[in-house]
Amino acid sequence: GENVEQHPSTLSVQEGDSAVIKCTYSDSASNYFPWYKQELGKGPQLIIDIRSNVGEKKDQRIAVTLNKTAKHFSLHITETQPEDSAVYFCAAHLPGNTPLVFGKGTRLSVIA
């Protein structure tokens, strides 16, 4: 089955700096890669996703890149703000009736 590794487990950045979170997946057949943000006491919120036929996707200050050859994908947050502080999860999905497989999460702290 699919396995997703996520790094780093914790990340601290100064407000205004960029943050990068990286994930690798094991099954080259995976074709969908969402990112979720989980704030304290809340459920995970889908913030951006990328499909295997696309190499990069951007939405305002967040972007995701996908390298299918290397089987890794990354989340980039630019101009970080204190409200970006949260736990971020990556996930991968194989085609068909299979569940999302999540990484273990990255706790991002943006220091004002």
Binding residues vs another protein (CB under 8 A): 31-32, 34, 36, 42-46, 49, 51, 89, 93, 97-105
Comparison of 20 and 100: residue with beta carbon closer to another protein: 100
Q: How far is the CB of 105 from another protein (least distance, A)?
A: 5
Comparison of 42 and 69: residue with beta carbon closer to another protein: 42
- Kindly state the tokens that stand for 48: 């951006």
Query: What is residue 82's three-state secondary structure?
Result: helix
End-to-end CA distance of the chain: 41
Comparison of 98 and 109: residue with beta carbon closer to another protein: 98
**How many CA atoms, within 13 angstroms, populate the side-chain half-sphere of residue 97?**
0
